[in-house]
């Protein structure tokens, strides 16, 4: 069977989660499921296409899954590691890359870098992680939840820990898919107010400083490292504030019996979660990692047409 043909891309860039309309979000996730189920159908979908991967931050899952996704769709990738815009302005960098490649994937420290790349680029720009958003992770998470729990509508997703980029993307994505997203953080580490406002307009979002309250009755319990890259200087202060938000077996017992445990990885076992939870039958962390490959295929198929 020939690979599906997408005559016109449905979106120009993915700089943040809300660049995907509701319809396009569902299309990406459906394509991700198809690409996972029948990869041969899409093996030449990006034939003759080349993408530039820009990595300011270290990466295992993002780099490997994007490189493999592009290659498994019949395209190829070139990767640059290091600061973007240090030797020359970002607007000059991107106007070189868009002459050579058909897309740009950027894992960067600042959301402003992603926005500037998209502003000047004539080819699609994908936010592979910034300080504010991690949309590719949220797509893989939604794919994993549907695989394991069968649906999104009416489920409760509890996020416990730092109100960071992953929390932002989950609020903006899971909320639109009909999930109740309950976020519990220490005081002073809540998600950004503008993200809360945007997510609350489109879905059921609740926030507290009580981990037990957030996890009570949850179908999925999610956590992340206490100090993301770029916040290493706050490590000592965070070590004082975050222990009550550790996802251990006692906290997981407050969730539903069928609840799954989620983490975007890498994990610091013994800090934000325990080895026992990571290795339990409830843990789907490696399913999430696997689905980065497939969700990103769905995204590439949608963006590149």
Give the C-alpha distances (Å, rounded to integers) separating 59 from 39, 116, 157, 274. Answer: 24, 22, 26, 23
- Enzyme catalytic residues: 107, 134, 137, 224, 264, 292
CA pair distance 154, 178, nearest whole angstrom: 6
Q: State the number of CA atoms in the 13 A half-sphere of 204 facing the CB.
A: 14
Which structure tokens are listed for 160? 């416990």
Strand partners, 253: none
CA pair distance 239, 226, nearest whole angstrom: 8
H helix runs in 121-260, sequence order = 135-149, 165-174, 193-202, 211-215, 235-241, 249-252
Strand partners, 54: 80, 106
Nearest in space to 178 (alpha carbons), one of 140, 142, 139, 217: 142
């Amino acid at each position: 069977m020939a690979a599906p043909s997408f005559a016109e891309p449905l979106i120009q860039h993915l700089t943040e989660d809300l660049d995907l309309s509701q319809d396009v979000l569902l299309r990406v996730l459906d394509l991700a499921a198809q690409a996972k189920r029948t990869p041969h159908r899409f093996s030449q979908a990006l034939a003759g296409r080349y993408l530039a991967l820009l990595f300011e931050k270290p990466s295992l899952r993002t780099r490997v899954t994007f490189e493999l996704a592009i290659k498994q769709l019949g395209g190829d990738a070139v990767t640059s590691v290091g600061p973007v815009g240090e030797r020359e302005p970002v607007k000059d960098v991107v106007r070189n890359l868009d002459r050579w490649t058909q897309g740009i994937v950027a894992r960067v420290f600042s959301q402003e870098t992603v926005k500037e790349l998209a502003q000047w680029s004539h080819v699609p720009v994908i936010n592979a992680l910034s300080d504010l958003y991690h949309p590719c992770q949220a797509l893989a998470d939604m794919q994993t939840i549907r695989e394991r729990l069968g649906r999104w509508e009416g489920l409760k997703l509890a996020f416990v820990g730092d109100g960071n980029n992953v929390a932002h993307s989950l609020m903006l994505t899971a909320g639109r898919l009909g999930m109740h997203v309950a976020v519990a953080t220490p005081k002073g580490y809540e998600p950004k107010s503008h993200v809360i406002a945007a997510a609350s307009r489109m879905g059921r979002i609740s926030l507290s400083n009580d981990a037990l309250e957030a996890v009570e009755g949850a179908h999925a319990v999610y956590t992340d490292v206490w100090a993301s890259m770029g916040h290493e200087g706050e490590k000592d202060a965070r070590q004082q504030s975050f222990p009550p938000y550790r996802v251990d077996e006692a906290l997981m017992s407050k969730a539903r019996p069928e609840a799954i445990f989620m983490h975007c990885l890498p994990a610091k076992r013994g800090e934000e979660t325990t080895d026992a939870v990571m290795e339990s039958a409830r843990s789907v962390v490696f399913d999430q990692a696997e689905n980065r490959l497939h969700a990103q295929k769905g995204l590439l198929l949608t963006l590149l047409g």
